[in-house]
Amino acid sequence: MMKHTDYHKNILESGDNTHEMVVQAISMLDCFEDSIQKVITDGDWNDYIRTITPYDKYLWECNHNHPQKTNPINILQNKKYSSYRETLLLPLWIRIKSKLPFSTELLLNKSVVQTIFSDGTIGEKDVDGGLGVLCNELMLPVIANEDKSGHFCKTSAKNVNGILENFKDLNPNIIRMCTTDNNVTIGRNVDSSELPAFNIVAPLRKNNGHNDSYQKLNPEIFFYLENILTEEVIKRGAECFECDKYKIKQKQNKTIRESIDNTGIYVNF
């Protein structure tokens, strides 16, 4: 029988799975699974955070309290910590999906359409979480979330904004968001107009900036996200996510690479 933690468990068990930190993490998964199942049913985010805190704290400390790449959990490429972060939000997407008056698909580290070109080719992007709709076997996003567990500065925000901008161009009704830890350091003087693609930036922990020690997840954020995201998707309505609402982009005659290979330079005025 499939479990909600299977994706995360498979990542933990891949590669170096005999390290003591990984063994300990795997031993704690049953409690994580039970907590996910319970909050999907009752929506009690306070209890969810309370029951997963030992696991959350353990993984956070493995990831943050040791020099990078000194254990399997804090090696970014292994995705052992990021797969936990993605699974952490899975019950949020499941609960929102259950409240919508139209059918959607769960997104968990899944490729969705980001660009549709006029010649029929498709550009895709893996998203960390959210909801989508199927259209002619293409997964089109309804909610697209990028999760950033590290330092979220202006540069990082601009990188995510670029990703979300493509979703905005595809269909402005797509809800575009980013969840983070509690280390958001975008300058206070940076106007939100410089990051126009974001609908939501949500630090999941309390006490932003106090990231030198473990900070608990904030259940109020989970309650808020469930309510506002459900409300916003329902407000838009199923018609905003029909196939013809996703825009086709005119494809250029030549790619940048083709121009450089042929003429040594790419110019676009």
pLDDT at position 262, please?
A: 87
- Give pLDDT, residue 253: 67
Provide the residue ranges of all domains of the chain, joining segments of one domain with +: 1-88, 102-251
The model's pTM: 0.93
What's phi and psi for 112, nearest 5 deg?
Answer: -130, 160
pLDDT digits (tens, 9 = 90+) for 40-95: 999 999 999 999 999 999 999 999 888 778 889 988 888 999 999 999 999 999 99
What is the Cα 165 distance to its own chain's centre?
15
DSSP symbols for the chain: ---TTHHHHHHHHSSS--SHHHHHHHHTHHHHHHHHHHHHHH--HHHHHHHHHHHHHHHHHHHHSS-TTSSGGG-GGG-HHHHHHHHHTHHHHHHHHHH-SS--EEEEEEEEEEEEETTS-EEEEEEEEEEEEEETTEEEEEEEEEEE-S-B-HHHHHHHHHHHHHHHHH-TTSEEEEEE-S-B---TT--GGGSTT-SEEEE-BSSTT--SS---B-HHHHHHHHHHHHHHHHHH-GGGGSGGGSPEEPPPSS-HHHHHHHHS-----
User: Which segments in the chain show pLDDT lower than 70?
Assistant: 252-253
